[in-house]
Structure 1
Amino acid sequence: MANIVITGANRGIGLALAKLYEARGDSVTAVCRETNDEIEEIADQVLSDIDITNEEQLPGIAMVLDRILDDPIDVLINNAGLFTNETLHDLDSDRIRAQFEVNAIAPLMVTRELLPLMAEGTKIANITSRMGSIEDNTSGAYYGYRASKAAVNAIGKSLANDLKEHGVMVAQIHPGFVQTRMVGFNGDISPEQAAEGIAARIDDLTLETTGSFWHSNGQPLPW
């Protein structure tokens, strides 16, 4: 049984990942702003009312996990995300700043806080987007989202380099265009399909591939 920690686990991809790992027989810790009956039934423990951009709350997550987990964290999935669209004709610096806080800075701070609970073999998955690929950007706009996901990709690469000597692995995983509330339930695949692909990429992650940027279908993505 593995110890799995998922942020933003109360809906969408996070909830689908919680279901998948629970079905595997793993111990799931859900971290979220708001809980609900579904995640309460699935997860072994739910840490709710958590704002991952509030650094004062993060030590509390580590304290609770240190108390309830007998073994190190096996997988940390930084899944919580924020998506808005900014164009040159509709720029809002507050929206852009909020996306950086949630999509890029928070995964780094959560990871740092939980590092003492990790060990050799722990895997960290940052749920990013191919919209953070500079090479793949052929349509523009989405200034805050694109830039914040490019930032978390850079952060994940640095984490991979810094943690490799400790046997901790990091991957940046694009889930695909997923039918979630974040995108108005448009999309090409269901959250369950995305979760299966993400879990497969995490399973396949090694020290040789740490730091990579992947589509959940296994395709390497350009930076």
Structure 2
Amino acid sequence: MTNTVLITGANRGIGLELVKRYLQDDEWQVIATCRHPENAVALKQLAESAPKRLNILPLEVTDSLSVRHLQEELAGTTIDVLINNAGIYNDKGQKFGAINYDNWAEAFNVNALGPMRVTEALFDTLKRSKLAKIVTISSQMGALSRAAKGSFAYRSSKAAINKAMHTLACELEDQNMVVAMFHPGWVQTDMGGSEAEITPTESADGLYKTISGLTKADNGKFLKWNGDIHPW
């Protein structure tokens, strides 16, 4: 039996590693989206090695027209797992007194509104699955349980998408769908930095295993990449 996963922001970092991980199992068809597929060298190389199992499509999660084009392109498709991975961290180092509010609005548009735009647009494709899994890559930086300073835009945008997806989980409680948010770990990516604790491969492998094991009982949970519960 073949299943289909769609991953946003799939041209680098955790998104790219998730594409690689899903392609390791023959049962998966992968739809990888990114803003500029023509420049996604690593993705195109993967597509050459798995031409029948990897489909690369353009998507700008902040652009309603781009999202609509994706919706039209995938009309009639069944998506079993949607991974809202696309995100930005555009206020690293910004502190109170020097906040860039344009950056803050952009962070909300990408990190909070983006996953909701995509999920809503692809809802019909998800309804065709026996148990659709709607996954959003969030961050522990959006957890209200953690005391921290700075990065107002990134932290608040991740807290916002956590709440939005938790609300969606409540709305979909009576449907064959699971909505879950994930802290992917502190990962050695452009966003996480070279001093981070785990590699993108370790994060993607843990996410893959945990997502595969999600059941209806996990609806609405905020989890770590290794399956542990993350405090809200």
3-state SS, counterpart of residue 174 of structure 2: helix
* Mean Cα deviation higher: 203-212 or 1-10: 203-212
Is 2:98 aligned against 1:94? Answer: no
Is 2:212 aligned against 1:203? Answer: yes
Counterpart for residue 50 of structure 2: none
Counterpart for residue 31 of structure 1: 33
Aligned equivalents of 1:103 and 1:126: distance in 2?
10
Is 2:181 aligned against 1:172? Answer: yes
3-state SS, counterpart of residue 141 of structure 1: coil
Query: What percentage of aligned pairs have identical amino acids?
Result: 36
Match of 1:40 among 44, 49, 74: 44
3-state SS, counterpart of residue 202 of structure 1: helix
Instruction: Normalising by structure 2, report the TM-score.
Output: 0.90
Gaps of 5+ in 2: 48-53
Is 2:74 aligned against 1:65? Answer: yes
Match of 1:134 among 115, 138, 144: 144
Q: How many residues align?
A: 218
Counterpart for residue 123 of structure 2: 115
- The one-letter amino acid paired with 2:160 is A
Q: Return the offset for 1:188.
A: 0.9
RMSD between superposed Cα atoms in Å: 1.3
Q: Return the offset for 1:159.
A: 1.2
Q: Return the offset for 1:201.
A: 1.9
Match of 2:82 among 48, 55, 76: 76
Contact 1:180 1:186 in 2 (8 A): no
Aligned equivalents of 2:169 and 2:215: distance in 1?
11
Q: Return the offset for 1:186.
A: 3.4
3-state SS, counterpart of residue 150 of structure 1: helix
Contact 2:187 2:193 in 1 (8 A): no
3-state SS, counterpart of residue 126 of structure 1: strand
Q: Return the offset for 1:57.
A: 1.3
- The one-letter amino acid paired with 2:46 is I
Counterpart for residue 125 of structure 1: 135
Q: Return the offset for 1:193.
A: 0.5
Task: Describe the superposition over 1:24-79 as per-residue Cα deviations: whole angstroms up to 9, x where unpaired.
Answer: 1211101101232321233521112x211001111110111226x4xx10100000
Aligned equivalents of 1:40 and 1:186: distance in 2?
29
Instruction: Normalising by structure 1, report the TM-score.
Output: 0.93
Task: Describe the superposition over 1:187-208 as per-residue Cα deviations: whole angstroms up to 9, x where unpaired.
Answer: 1111111001111221121111
Match of 2:201 among 192, 200, 205: 192
Q: Return the offset for 1:185.
A: 3.5
Task: Describe the superposition over 1:152-205 as per-residue Cα deviations: whole angstroms up to 9, x where unpaired.
Answer: 100110111112212111110000000111234331111111001111221121
- The one-letter amino acid paired with 2:30 is V
